Amino acid sequence: MRNILNINSDWILSAEKTPDGKAVHKRILPLNKEDAYCYYLELLGAAPSMEVFVNQEKIGAHTGSYTLYRVDVTDQIVNGDNELDIVCDSEVPCLDASLIVVGKHHFSLDHFGDAGLTVIPEEISTSSASIRITAHAKNLPEDAMISYTVLTTTGTMLANKSVPVSAPEYICHLTNPCLWNGKTSPKLYVVVAGLIVNGATEDQIVLPFGLRNLSMESNGSVLVNGLCVPEKDLIRTLESDPFVYDDMDEDGSFACVELKELCDIAADEEDCRNLLTEYVLQNAYHPSILCWKLPEDHADFAALLRELDSTRPVLF
């Protein structure tokens, strides 16, 4: 099972800057490294431009302060004290820093920083709902299994199924579901995915989600479960902290995610594509996000957004 170590404290801003004027944040991380585990460094709300070093070896770089950055540091860390350096444009390198410790067999942690679990509501109505659930993993034994459990937020089990890792998709069918309907009914569900190897659960992911129908009228208005969302109720935002969207999910707020600033900070077209991919995959499970909005000069990326997330309209 995974263990998440908070490493927010003890970062020191070096008095010396790099030759190009960037700040250097340092931390010594004592660690009892074990060969049976993998280690991932996770930085939430990473600085606009950053490079990450472990024991003076560069192990990654990231552009964009609105997405989570996660990198495998298993080969670079040692048993004992480890020097972590973040070189960036900011006096604060990130909102939150963690070290994720997982077994050799685990769900994916290196796919654009997402949860390693995709939940796509399909064919939603007040009488029934289908949810396409897929966990992502690689380099697993052929006989490994993935168990899926769908629950209410109070813990009542609604569905459960185990599938082989070779066919990881599960279509869950619910009858008479409670729809997420904004502040009127911000109903959420929870899916738990477990990775089972040799009869033991090696890793687990817990992800909340909501069920609602989204559509868009010809005038650009967004409808939730067939009802138009008033313009005054639509929060236009671009959050770097996903916990803000968690709060919006729970209190029934409506968000239109405006991606202009994300596009503006991209170094080039490829970088913009990567940033948009990270942002959508990391946040697509939030029911409070009703639509993505691109600036008109980046309208060519609409096809990418629809490919990544077929459930939401794309505005301009």
For residue 220, is pLDDT > 90?
no
Please give the residue that has the higher pLDDT: either 63 or 222: 222
The residues facing 118 across adjacent strands are 134
pTM higher than the cut 0.85: yes
The answer to whether 91 touches 13, Cβ cutoff 8 Å, is: yes
Same domain, 48 and 124: no
Please give the residue that has the higher pLDDT: either 309 or 219: 309
The answer to whether 177 touches 129, Cβ cutoff 8 Å, is: yes
Q: What is the mean pLDDT of the chain?
A: 93
User: Does a structural domain hold residue 176?
Assistant: yes
Residue 11 makes CB contacts below 8 A (sequence gap 6+) with 25, 26, 27, 86, 93, 97
SS3 of 174, please? strand
User: Does a structural domain hold residue 112?
Assistant: no
**Helix 269-283 and helix 242-251: axis angle, to 10°?**
40
Same domain, 8 and 63: yes
Please give the residue that has the higher pLDDT: either 95 or 259: 259
Same domain, 266 and 291: yes
The answer to whether 49 touches 96, Cβ cutoff 8 Å, is: no
User: Does a structural domain hold residue 111?
Assistant: no
% of the chain surpassing 70 pLDDT: 100
Same domain, 144 and 84: no
Amino acid 283: pLDDT: 96
Domain membership of residue 57 as a residue range: 3-103
Amino acid 311: pLDDT: 93
| Structural tokens at position 140 | 């697993």
Residue 186 makes CB contacts below 8 A (sequence gap 6+) with 180, 210, 249, 250, 251, 252
Among all chains, which residue has been given the structure tokens 């003890």?
10
Same domain, 220 and 267: yes
Same domain, 59 and 10: yes
Please give the residue that has the higher pLDDT: either 233 or 242: 233
Band of the pLDDT at 52, cuts 50, 70, 90?
A: very high
Which CATH number characterizes residue 13's domain?
2.60.120.260
Same domain, 223 and 174: no
The answer to whether 265 touches 48, Cβ cutoff 8 Å, is: yes
Same domain, 178 and 133: yes
For residue 224, is pLDDT > 80?
yes
Last residue of a domain, one of 159, 189, 209: 209
Amino acid 185: pLDDT: 95
Last residue of a domain, one of 49, 76, 103: 103
pLDDT in tens, 238-250: 998 889 999 999 9
Please give the residue that has the higher pLDDT: either 69 or 15: 69
Band of the pLDDT at 21, cuts 50, 70, 90?
A: confident
| Angle in degrees, CA 95, 104, 209, rounded to 5 | 50
Which CATH number characterizes residue 150's domain?
2.60.40.10
The residues facing 98 across adjacent strands are 6, 42
Residue 211 makes CB contacts below 8 A (sequence gap 6+) with 121, 124, 129, 131, 174, 177, 178, 179, 180, 187, 189, 287
Alpha carbons 210 and 188: distance in angstroms, whole number: 5
Same domain, 202 and 251: no
Same domain, 198 and 229: no
Q: What are phi and psi of 248, to 5 degrees?
A: -65, -35
pLDDT in tens, 115-130: 999 999 988 999 999 9
Last residue of a domain, one of 156, 191, 209: 209
Same domain, 26 and 46: yes
Amino acid 90: pLDDT: 80
For residue 48, is pLDDT > 80?
no
Number of domains into which the chain is organized? 3
Reduced 3-state DSSP string for 194-214: EEEECCEEEEEEEEEECCCCE
Residue 60 makes CB contacts below 8 A (sequence gap 6+) with 51, 52, 69, 71
pLDDT in tens, 154-211: 999 999 999 999 999 999 999 999 999 999 999 999 999 999 999 999 999 999 999 9
